Amino acid sequence: MEIPTAEVSGVPDPLPEGLLVLDVREDDEWQAGHVPGSVHVPLRELGERYADLPDADQTLVVCRVGSRSAYAAGFLLQQGVDAVNLAGGLVAWESAGRPLIADDDHTPMVL
């Protein structure tokens, strides 16, 4: 199966209504910095928790560099979710100057 992929430059800023950003990194990675408004479900929990995700027109799946999120996007596609992997992950996101916030204080954070 080919996984749909989006470059950071192709992701609208600000993020559109109806787009769910799903972060599949581990808890410590999430707490260090994540996309504002994103939902966190570690990859290891996705199989049992995907049905609880908020309704969305499309789901942009992110991780640190795009490997785990590609796997997660493939799984979600098999479940009928319109999922897209973020190429280069949050490393690319941050390099493009897009904001990340820390879980504890909601200030911009560097990965």
**Pairwise pLDDT comparison (85 vs 104), residue with the higher score:** 85
Q: Identify the three-state secondary structure at position 3.
A: coil
Task: Please check the confidence at residue 65 and state whether its pLDDT lies above 90.
Answer: yes
Q: Comparing C-alpha atoms, which of 53, 42, 44 is closest to residue 83?
A: 53
Mean pLDDT across 38-65? 97
Q: Comparing C-alpha atoms, which of 73, 88, 87, 51 is closest to residue 1?
A: 73
Q: Comparing C-alpha atoms, which of 98, 105, 108 is closest to residue 21?
A: 98
Rounding to the nearest 10 degrees, give the CA dihedral for residues 24, 27, 30, 31: 170
Task: Please check the confidence at residue 50 and state whether its pLDDT lies above 60.
Answer: yes
Hey, what are 65's tokens?
Answer: 């560099």
pTM: 0.92
Number of C-beta neighbours around residue 31 at 10 A: 14
Distance between CA 34 and CA 101 in Å, rounded? 5
Distance between CA 29 and CA 10 in Å, rounded? 24
To the nearest whole number, what is the mean pLDDT of the chain?
93
Query: How far are the Cα atoms of 6, 13, 28, 51, 58 from residue 77, in angstroms, in the given order?
Result: 15, 24, 26, 13, 11
- pLDDT level of residue 89 (50, 70, 90 thresholds): very high
Mean pLDDT across 50-71? 97
